[in-house]
Each structure stands twice: as C-alpha cells, then as structure tokens.
C-alpha cells in the first residue's frame, strides 16, 4: 500500500498531548458551571461567542464553554496541524491515503480563475468542461430540445443512485423545491423494488428520463434498479434502442456505462478525487440542476465557494467550520456526548440530517488512526435529527430531561419562502424558546406554588444543555451551498484532530461482500435445493431457510 500521506500534520496522537490532559481537567470544572450564570455575568457573551460570514450567523454562545475552553481547543487544533491539513486538501494532496486519492470536491465549486494542479495535471479545464456540458443538457432538456425516443417532451426525471449518489441530490432538491420549475423529479435508491414501483407508478415511459448516478457503476442496488428501469422502458416502448434517448449516466466508469447501453454523449463524468458523499457538486448534481435550472445550480456552487474561501483563509479562532469542529470534539471527547442532533427549523430541510448522517458518519465513523493503530479515544458521534417544530413533539423530551448530553445545532432562516400569516413567527419563536429553555432550564424555585410536591421533581429542567444557533437570511441555493460546505469542512477538521482518514469507507464493504455470497445460496434455496449452509451461524442459516423457502413451503427446514 502507498505510504500514508501525513504532510506536515502533527505526528502526535492527540490524547498524548499535554493540551488533551488540560482539556480533561478543564472539563471537570465545566460540568459544574452554569450557562445561565455565565450569561448573567457576561453581557458580551453572545458577541464574544458568535461568528458571521455574509448573512450566515453562527451563535455558539449557548455552549458549555469559556474563553479557556476555546483557547485550549484551538491549541489542540494547531497541534493537530489543521492549517497544513487544510492546505494539503485544497492543494490536491492525496490526503485519502488508504485509497491513494486526492480530496478535491472544493475544485468542483472553485469559482476562481486559474489552474489547480493534481500532480502535473490542471483539473480545472475538466471541471469546467463537464459543467458546460451539464448546462447545455439542462437547457436542452428543460426547453424541450432533447426529447424521448417517440419525440415527446421529457416530463419526469428519475435519479437512480444510492448513498452519496442519492442523498445529496434528494436533500438539495427537496431543500430547493421552492425554486423548482423543471420536470418532475423522482429518486429511486433502495434495492427494495417497492421504491422503483412506487416512484414510477404514474410515469409514462415515453416522457421519462432515467439518470443512473453511480461513481463506480457497479453498486448492486443502483445497477439492479437501472436494469429494472431499462426493462420498464422496453415494456413501455417496445424498443431497446430507446435506452440511448431515455438514459443518462453520471459516473467515473465509462466502460461499464457503455456496456449498459448509454452512449458517451450521455455520460457526464467525474473523477476519483470526488468522494461519493461530497459529490453533489459534480455531475452527480445533474438532477438538482435539471430541477432548478443551471444558473441556480451555479448559485449553489457560489455559496459553497464562499465558505471554502472563508475556511481556507480565516484564522482558526474566527473560522466557522473550525469552531464547530472544536465544539464537536469538546462534547465527544471531553464531555462524553455520544450523539449530536441537527435540527433545521425549515420544512424544506427535512432531509438535511439524513444527508449529513452519511457525510459525517461514513467519514468519521472510524476506529483506527492514520498509522493503523486502534483509537484510544472516541471518533465520530451518532448524528441524527428532524425538522422543527416536528421534533419537539417527538424526541425533545429526552433532550430536555433525559440523562444524556446531546449538543444540538438549530438551523433557521430570518425570512420564510412561504410568508403565510404568522406561521414563520411561530416557527422561529419555537426555535428561540427551545434554545433558551435548553440553556436556562427551570429550577425547583421557579415552579409555581400551586404545583403538588410529588410533581415538582418531574417539572424541573436541569438546563445547561448546549445548542448552537445557525441563522441565515433566507433559504436560497447560495445559502444552502454555504451551509453544506460549512458542515463538510467541520467533518474534515474533526477527522484531522482524530487522526483518522475521513475520506474512505471500508466499513461498508464487508456487508456488501457477504450479500453477494448469500445471493446464490438464496437462489438455490428458492429453487428447492438444499445448499450447504454450514459456513453460516445457526441464526443466519435458519433465517435464510425461512426467507428464501420456495413459495408455499415457508415452514421448510
């Protein structure tokens, strides 16, 4: 295997650093501190613990931190070599060392002139060429210049992909639904045929375009759905040659695309230096661009580029993704938080947490460091969330009064895209009320006198529960691009401090391999044969016999 790319990052394990020990000691005093008092003592707390970039405001003052906390965390970040790691990424270093790849999703939204060399090759002309092809395709499809095999205008576009080839396009298309003025968009991801059947039930083959989005063009779920789509098209049009007019591929694997029957002019390529979970900015974003138009897609890239510039050039203490990452490290490694919630107070962002589950957990769900040593400290937390105010009526009880510390990011917008009556005021009143309630709590002495004694303990809120408020003016492609890039860089910084590779995903391989091995055994069982299942444990073997029994023989075995 290639040598790990270490660049000039620190060689020291973070938990062996004196600053780690000081943070551990400091955390003991913080658990006894009181956020409410901190605000009372310091009227400047919001001003000191908030950062802005354009219309983005990040208020982290309701976190369990003091100046000393930040000071120590910033020292940890510097020791970890964040600045050189950042330059290594933007400069095309092969920082994904287990796959010997550069990590250059930032190049996809680089709105600056000039070259960006990956070794001796300037990748910017490639990036711009594909963007131009996407622009033309979007225009021609939306205007009706590109039509189906029978000459009908395309009225529905179905993106077939999974993981990074699905979650980003889905989340962003949903988030920007307000701006959509193109064909109907559908997303099929699950290998459960229900997904394909339900999403295509009302579609007409002659008016449908399938986008097969797969970096590798080998993913079992995607290729199964793509073949089913090809069959569905044939059954509707009775013409195999229609595939070339009704399919588009977004992939790095040209040979497999061609073999499937999609011609070169219908393939939009990207490159191995684009990680799946960071690929919405690449050709993988084609469905987004078809939905909102290419100009608006470019605004999404513009917003991300603004954040890239901020992240790349701001000093660590004024750097929004760095501060968010340090808060993440603080809660995970020093205050024992196992999970983190993302709570967007905007219905359009209802898939935001699901998207970042992949971005964060596939990136930082790692157990060995860059030397292959097992971590003796925690890495990525479980990330979860739901749009507000719905979450308030589901799981907020536990955040307020449960036994765990759950740091929460509240995301909101000053202006609604749907200013109907006082809905937005109520929405944001809830946003504020929750962050204030979590911080202040309610002490025994603040419970009304009329409350019976036996109920009083149940009505106490401990408070001191940390939140970060992330506020933007309005949900636009630009603000969304900025928000996504902010979290991407946060994930990167955390990974550097944990000394892990945030850009591989070996952990998803074993299940894929085993599923492939089970498939022929399943086929044998379904045909009534009795294959040798002794390599499986008794649980798996019994379940297999039950699930794959031939029809009408479900009790067999």
Active-site amino acid positions: 362, 393, 512
- Give kind and range of the element (H or E) at residue 503: none
Per CB under 6 A, which region of 126-134, 156-164, 403-411, 523-531 contacts ligand F6P? 156-164
Closer to ligand F6P by CB, 264 or 515: give it.
515
Identify the three-state secondary structure at position 414. coil
b/e per residue 169-178 (b: at least 16 CB within 10 A): bbbbbbbbee
Does residue number 491 form part of the binding site for ligand F6P (CB under 6 A)? no
Query: Phi and psi for 173 in degrees, rounded to 5?
Result: -65, -40
Query: Considering the complex, what minimum distance in angstroms separates the CB of residue 279 from ligand F6P?
Result: 7
DSSP 149: T
Closer to ligand F6P by CB, 215 or 351: give it.
215
Per CB under 6 A, which region of 160-168, 230-238, 290-298, 398-406 contacts ligand F6P? 160-168
Does residue number 277 form part of the binding site for ligand F6P (CB under 6 A)? yes
Laid out side by side, the sheet with 208-213 consists of 184-188, 156-160, 208-213, 247-251, 267-269
Closer to ligand F6P by CB, 288 or 329: give it.
288
Does residue number 245 form part of the binding site for ligand F6P (CB under 6 A)? no
Query: Considering the complex, what minimum distance in angstroms separates the CB of residue 56 from ligand F6P?
Result: 27
Residues 403-432 that bind ligand F6P (CB under 6 A): none
Query: Considering the complex, what minimum distance in angstroms separates the CB of residue 131 from ligand F6P?
Result: 19
C-alpha distances (whole Å) from 360 to each of 246, 340, 383, 518 are 34, 11, 7, 30
- How far is Cα 137 from Cα 131, in angstroms, rounded to an integer? 10
Does residue number 471 form part of the binding site for ligand F6P (CB under 6 A)? no
Query: If DSSP states are collapsed to H, E and C, what string results for 351-408?
Result: CHHHHHHHHHHHHHCCCECCCCCECCCCCCCEEEECCCCHHHHCCHHHHHHCCCCCCE
Number of residues that bind ligand F6P (CB under 6 A): 14
C-alpha distances (whole Å) from 355 to each of 203, 291, 359, 468, 525 are 26, 19, 7, 19, 37
- How far is Cα 455 from Cα 10, in angstroms, rounded to an integer? 54
Residues 340-399 that bind ligand F6P (CB under 6 A): 362
Does residue number 101 form part of the binding site for ligand F6P (CB under 6 A)? no
Query: If DSSP states are collapsed to H, E and C, what string results for 40-91?
Result: HHCCCHHHHCEEEECCEEEECCCCCCCHHHHHHHHHHHHHHCHHHHHHHHHC
Closer to ligand F6P by CB, 216 or 401: give it.
216
Residue of the chain from 17, 150, 180, 216 that contacts ligand F6P (CB under 6 A): 216
Residue of the chain from 61, 189, 222, 357 that contacts ligand F6P (CB under 6 A): 222
Counting every residue written for the chain, the total comes to: 557
Closer to ligand F6P by CB, 53 or 267: give it.
267
Closer to ligand F6P by CB, 476 or 505: give it.
505
Query: Considering the complex, what minimum distance in angstroms separates the CB of residue 225 from ligand F6P?
Result: 11
Does residue number 165 form part of the binding site for ligand F6P (CB under 6 A)? yes
Query: Considering the complex, what minimum distance in angstroms separates the CB of residue 355 from ligand F6P?
Result: 11
Query: Considering the complex, what minimum distance in angstroms separates the CB of residue 231 from ligand F6P?
Result: 20
Closer to ligand F6P by CB, 49 or 273: give it.
273
Does residue number 162 form part of the binding site for ligand F6P (CB under 6 A)? yes
Closer to ligand F6P by CB, 164 or 328: give it.
164
Residues 195-214 that bind ligand F6P (CB under 6 A): 214
Does residue number 170 form part of the binding site for ligand F6P (CB under 6 A)? no
Does residue number 219 form part of the binding site for ligand F6P (CB under 6 A)? yes
Residue of the chain from 81, 93, 148, 164 that contacts ligand F6P (CB under 6 A): 164
Per CB under 6 A, which region of 97-105, 161-169, 366-374, 461-469 contacts ligand F6P? 161-169
Query: Phi and psi for 3 in degrees, rounded to 5?
Result: -65, 140
**Would residue 113 be called left, alpha or beta, if left means φ above 0 and alpha means ψ between -120 and 50 degrees?**
beta
Query: Considering the complex, what minimum distance in angstroms separates the CB of residue 382 from ligand F6P?
Result: 18
Does residue number 159 form part of the binding site for ligand F6P (CB under 6 A)? no
Q: How crowded is residue 315: how many other Cβ atoms within 10 Å of its Cβ? A: 9
Question: Encoding tokens for residue 129?
Answer: 């060429």
Angle between helices 294-313 and 477-498 (to 10 degrees): 40
Does residue number 163 form part of the binding site for ligand F6P (CB under 6 A)? yes
Query: Considering the complex, what minimum distance in angstroms separates the CB of residue 167 from ligand F6P?
Result: 8
Residues 502-531 that bind ligand F6P (CB under 6 A): 505, 508
Instruction: Establish how many alpha carbons lie within 13 A of residue 326's alpha carbon, considering only the half-sphere containing its beta carbon.
Output: 29
Residue of the chain from 26, 215, 246, 490 that contacts ligand F6P (CB under 6 A): 215
Query: Considering the complex, what minimum distance in angstroms separates the CB of residue 25 from ligand F6P?
Result: 39
Question: Encoding tokens for residue 229?
Answer: 């789509």
Query: Considering the complex, what minimum distance in angstroms separates the CB of residue 268 from ligand F6P?
Result: 13
Closer to ligand F6P by CB, 193 or 508: give it.
508
Answer whether the bond into residue 389 is a cis peptide, omega within 30°: yes
For every residue of 275-306, DSSP letters joined together read: -GGG-TTTGGGHHHHHHH-HHHHHHHHHHHHH
Per CB under 6 A, which region of 43-51, 90-98, 158-166, 254-262 contacts ligand F6P? 158-166
Closer to ligand F6P by CB, 161 or 441: give it.
161
Q: How far apart are the first and last CA of the chain?
A: 45
Closer to ligand F6P by CB, 208 or 251: give it.
251
334-337: long-range contacts, CB 8 A cutoff, minimum separation 24: 334/23, 334/24, 334/26, 334/27, 335/27, 335/30, 335/31, 335/64, 335/405, 336/405, 337/381, 337/404, 337/405, 337/406, 337/407
Query: Considering the complex, what minimum distance in angstroms separates the CB of residue 169 from ligand F6P?
Result: 11
Q: What does the binding site for ligand F6P look like in residue numbers (CB under 6 A)?
A: 162-165, 214-216, 219, 222, 276-277, 362, 505, 508
């Amino acid at each position: 295997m290639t040598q790990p790319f270490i660049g000039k990052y620190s060689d020291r394990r973070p938990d062996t650093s004196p600053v780690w020990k000081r943070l551990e000691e400091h955390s003991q005093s913080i658990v006894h501190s009181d956020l409410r008092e901190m605000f009372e003592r310091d009227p400047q707390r919001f001003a000191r613990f908030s950062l802005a970039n354009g219309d983005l405001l990040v208020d982290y003052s309701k976190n369990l931190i003091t100046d000393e906390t930040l000071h120590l965390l910033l020292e940890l970040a510097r020791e970890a070599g964040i600045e050189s790691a950042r330059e290594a990424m933007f400069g095309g270093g092969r920082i994904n060392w287990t796959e010997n790849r550069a990590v250059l999703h930032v190049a996809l939204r680089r709105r600056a002139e000039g070259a960006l060399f990956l070794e001796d090759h300037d990748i910017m002309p490639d990036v711009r060429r594909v963007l131009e092809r996407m622009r033309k395709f979007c225009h021609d499809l939306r205007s009706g210049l590109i039509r189906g095999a029978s000459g009908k205008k395309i009225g529905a576009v179905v993106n077939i992909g999974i993981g990074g080839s699905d979650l980003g396009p889905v989340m962003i298309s949903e988030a920007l639904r307000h701006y959509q003025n193109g064909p109907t968009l559908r997303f099929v991801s699950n290998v459960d045929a229900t997904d394909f059947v339900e999403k295509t039930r009302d579609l007409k083959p002659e008016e449908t375009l399938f986008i097969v989005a797969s970096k590798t063009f080998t993913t079992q779920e995607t290729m199964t759905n793509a073949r089913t789509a090809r069959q569905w098209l044939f059954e509707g049009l009775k013409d195999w040659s229609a595939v070339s007019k009704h399919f588009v591929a977004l992939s790095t694997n040209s040979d497999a695309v061609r073999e499937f029957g999609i011609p070169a002019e219908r393939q939009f390529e990207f490159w191995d230096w684009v990680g799946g979970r960071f690929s919405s900015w690449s050709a993988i974003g084609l469905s987004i661009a078809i939905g909102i138009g290419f100009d608006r897609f470019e605004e999404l890239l513009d917003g991300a580029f603004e954040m890239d510039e901020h992240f790349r050039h701001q000093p660590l203490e004024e750097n929004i993704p760095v501060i968010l990452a340090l808060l993440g490290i603080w809660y995970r490694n020093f205050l024992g938080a196992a999970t983190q919630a993302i709570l967007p107070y905007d219905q359009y962002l209802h898939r935001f947490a699901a998207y970042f589950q992949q971005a964060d957990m596939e990136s930082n769900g790692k157990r060995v460091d860059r030397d292959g040593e097992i971590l003796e400290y925690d890495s990525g937390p479980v990330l979860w969330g739901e749009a507000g105010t719905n979450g308030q009526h589901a799981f907020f009880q536990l955040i307020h009064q449960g036994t765990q510390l759950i740091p929460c990011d509240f995301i909101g917008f000053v202006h609604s895209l749907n200013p109907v009556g006082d809905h937005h005021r109520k929405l944001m009143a809830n946003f504020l009320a929750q962050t204030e309630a979590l911080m202040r709590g309610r002490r025994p002495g603040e419970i009304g006198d009329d409350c019976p004694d036996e109920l009083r303990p149940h009505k106490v809120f401990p408070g001191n529960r940390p939140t970060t408020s992330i506020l933007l003016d309005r949900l636009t492609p630009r603000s969304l691009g900025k928000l996504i890039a902010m979290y991407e860089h946060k994930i990167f910084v955390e990974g550097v401090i944990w000394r892990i590779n945030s850009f591989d995903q070996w952990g998803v391989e074993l299940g894929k391999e085993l599923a492939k091995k089970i498939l022929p055994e399943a086929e044998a069982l379904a045909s009534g044969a009795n294959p040798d299942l002794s390599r499986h444990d008794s649980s798996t073997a019994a379940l297999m016999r039950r699930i794959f029994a031939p029809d009408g023989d479900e009790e067999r075995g």
